A and B are shown apart, each in its own frame.
Chain A
Amino acid sequence: MAFAAQAQNQGIEMADTMRSNGKIYVVVAVLSIVLAGILIYVINTDKKIKRLEEEVENK
């Protein structure tokens, strides 16, 4: 299997164009924003539950 060649094999198509014109950062940015959105939701829910737990504890 000569596929896993160590030398730069320019014959295999990769996303070099996207990297060279900076568009790969669009991919990273979009996914990061989606992740951030999900995390904000999770964090807010966590805080809400913590508040409820403290309320139940203090009753």
Chain B
Amino acid sequence: MKGYNFINLFKGLGLFLLQLAVVYFIVESGLSAGAKFPLVILALGAVVFVSFKLDCWKEMAVFGMFYTIIAGFLMPVPRLPIVNETIRNQYFHVAMWMAMVIVLFASALHAVKYLRKGDLRDDILSSEFANLGLVFGVLGIITGMVWANYTWGKPWHGDPKQVSAAIGLLVYFALMVLRSSFNDDVKRARIGAVYNLFAFPLMIVLLFTVPRMYDSLHPGAGGNPAFGKADLDNTMRMVFYTAIIAWTLLGVWIATLRIRTRLLELKVYDVL
């Protein structure tokens, strides 16, 4: 292929294998469960950061996504009643929600940057990441409903987490509507950014705080945080954390394509 540097493939593969090694060593270490989760996040965040610097994050995303599918179906999972094999949906439904949270955080971050510097590029990044967050969120709700249909009996139960997630998505849909109501770029960016900064903490509270307070069919309710011993074993952790990174990076890649197109439009129309 013209102009493609194949070294990037090896860099991407190397960093992807590094992800697996990092997760393996942290998960198999003797640390408490409470220490493992933040440590894995920090370590994988560092690997992703390096992949951006080495410009091989797209390759790493490709390896990660194929791994999610292949290992997701072929590696063993705990034999649990009710969920049976569908526990593998963890690598899709749950991983996409986590990816959504990461992406919406990036959106809020760029909203802050825009308010501080007034650079419209930050507004483009913020709005495209919010769009991506919505896509992940809608896919997450739909996959969750399919999962619920086969394990809980029907697709919608008014379960606290389902309802909170739906409210969170409506809040971000409202952001889209709000933005589209402006003709002036600067006003749209400024008001959209302020709303974004309300929307993100609200989404966090809705997804992580509110459901914990109620009894629910979702794991992680009634006061017990999820991802404990009953929900996820070490073999699943080997796929789950990498899957989150893979979904996030694939989504970010597609978002950057949209962002670059919008930046091109700005350049071309400003010149004309």
Query: Which A positions have Cβ atoms within 8 angstroms of B?
Result: 1, 3-5, 8-9, 12-15, 24, 27-28, 31-32, 35, 39, 42, 45-46, 49, 52-53, 56, 59
Contacts and interface: CB of A to CB of B under 8 A. Distances in A.
A49 B264 contact: yes
Interface stretch (B72-80, B169-177, B210-218): B72-80
Interface of B: 58, 62, 65-66, 69-70, 73-74, 78-81, 84-85, 229-230, 233, 250, 253-254, 257, 260-261, 264, 267-268, 271
Contacts of A3: 80-81, 230
A45 B257 contact: yes
Contacts of A24: 73-74
Contacts of B80: 3-4, 12
Dominant secondary structure at the B interface: helix
Given A12-B80, A45-B257, A32 B233 contact: no
Contacts of B261: 49
A12 B200 CA distance: 41
Contacts of A13: 84
A21 to B, nearest CB: 14
Nearest to A9: B79
Q: Which of B79, B85, B229, B254 has the most CB of A within 10 A?
A: B79
Given A39-B65, A59-B271, 13 more contacts: A3-B81, A3-B230, A5-B79, A9-B79, A12-B80, A13-B84, A14-B79, A15-B84, A28-B74, A42-B250, A42-B254, A45-B257, A46-B253
